[in-house]
Homo-oligomer: A and B are copies of this chain.
């Protein structure tokens, strides 16, 4: 096991009716800005529940945060924050809303040289202060509700930043809320959480037995429960939704990745697919991951065999056959989740690879993977394998 430091202080309130907990979580003298997206929370009753919980509080609202939240939209929130002396953000939505709230929180108190919050993203200037954030999660996927990570989009750039200061103080996870999601939203969420887990697991072994078992447990849960959320018989089963929701949070709250190597190449290559062609984040991952597995088979051999045996119970055949079978089963799982597994499934072809490689180079993504040895040439090989 590698040395590590780990802390996750976000208080989780999980279960039906837990949105009411925000009334106790947010100080009564706070001036709260409710931050949300396109208004689906008004249709599914969440906005009403939040309003009901905040009757004693002073609060304002800022809506319109997009999937892949944009810098320009997030900066608009600064006006109301200044005008109303906002000192607490309540993010109500999925990962994009929570990610957006994190940037709003950091930008509001940014004091770096020049004072331009853009530097947080483009110069990776450290966040030294941020407004406190609480979250009501409506879409299980990114884990953003209990981590300090955020990705913000400006033009074709998807730029991440990270700080413990923007980790939500609390997060409400009510699985009932997820029943109003579209099939596409729920499938994207399951696939995102699955790939987050894989990226902290499928590297080389450091004998981190607890981390491996926990990751395998999350993968197994997502494989068992994910497809049920799309089948008419089981899609409204609250247990299914609960297990998916808790898996997605645990997949990226820092725990399973503490003390083990990580390989975020699938995400990094995927980001370029979203930036260049507007493909849903999770759908870029389901296209890229199988190709990463195939191209990095030798480097990931030991863990791929473990993945085959423990996650898929594949024990017949020689090493190569077992690995190939595990990759095939991964692709079948993605198909059950109704997401694409090839570039051709989203109408892209070999002619589009040059642009993606160019963007990877532009964004400094020239040494990806757990050993920093996925060069641009290997990323090209991965994209070619994904055709």
Q: A216-B217, A258-B14 are in contact. Are A210 and B243 (CB under 8 A)?
A: yes
Query: Which residue in chain B gives the minimum CB-CB distance to A12?
Result: B6
In the bound complex, how far is the Cα of B115 from the Cα of A140, in angstroms? 47
Q: A210-B217, A213-B220, A220-B213 are in contact. Are A12 and B7 (CB under 8 A)?
A: yes
Chain B residues, CB < 8 A from A224: 209
Q: Which of A15-23, A26-34, A283-291 contacts B (4 or more CB under 8 A)?
A: A15-23
Identical copies of this chain, number: 2
Chain B residues, CB < 8 A from A258: 12, 14
In the bound complex, how far is the Cα of B254 from the Cα of A14, in angstroms? 14
Cβ-neighbour of A221 out of B10, B17, B209 (below 8 A): B209
Determine if A250 is an interface residue (Cβ-Cβ < 8 Å): yes
CB distance from A14 to the nearest CB of B (A): 5
Q: Chain A: interface residue count, which band?
A: 35 or more
CB distance from A64 to the nearest CB of B (A): 31
Determine if A218 is an interface residue (Cβ-Cβ < 8 Å): yes
In the bound complex, how far is the Cα of B8 from the Cα of A255, in angstroms? 12
**Per-residue CB proximity of A106-145 to B under 8 Å, as 1/0?**
0000000000000000000000000000000000000000
Determine if A5 is an interface residue (Cβ-Cβ < 8 Å): yes
In the bound complex, how far is the Cα of B10 from the Cα of A213, in angstroms? 22
Chain B residues, CB < 8 A from A259: 14-15, 246
Determine if A3 is an interface residue (Cβ-Cβ < 8 Å): yes
In the bound complex, how far is the Cα of B255 from the Cα of A210, in angstroms? 13
In the bound complex, how far is the Cα of B242 from the Cα of A313, in angstroms? 27
In the bound complex, how far is the Cα of B214 from the Cα of A218, in angstroms? 8
Query: Which residue in chain B gives the minimum CB-CB distance to A18?
Result: B3
CB distance from A354 to the nearest CB of B (A): 42
Determine if A231 is an interface residue (Cβ-Cβ < 8 Å): no
Q: Are B207 and A213 in contact (CB under 8 A)?
A: no
CB distance from A18 to the nearest CB of B (A): 7
Determine if A11 is an interface residue (Cβ-Cβ < 8 Å): yes
Ordered by A's residue number, 21 sampled pairs between the chains whose C-beta atoms are within 8 Å are A1-B14, A1-B242, A2-B15, A3-B16, A3-B18, A4-B12, A6-B12, A6-B14, A7-B11, A7-B12, A8-B8, A9-B9, A209-B217, A209-B225, A210-B217, A210-B218, A210-B221, A210-B246, A213-B213, A213-B214, A217-B217
List 8 A-B pairs, minimum CB-CB distance, nearest first.
Answer: A213-B217, A3-B15, A9-B9, A7-B11, A207-B239, A209-B221, A1-B242, A209-B243
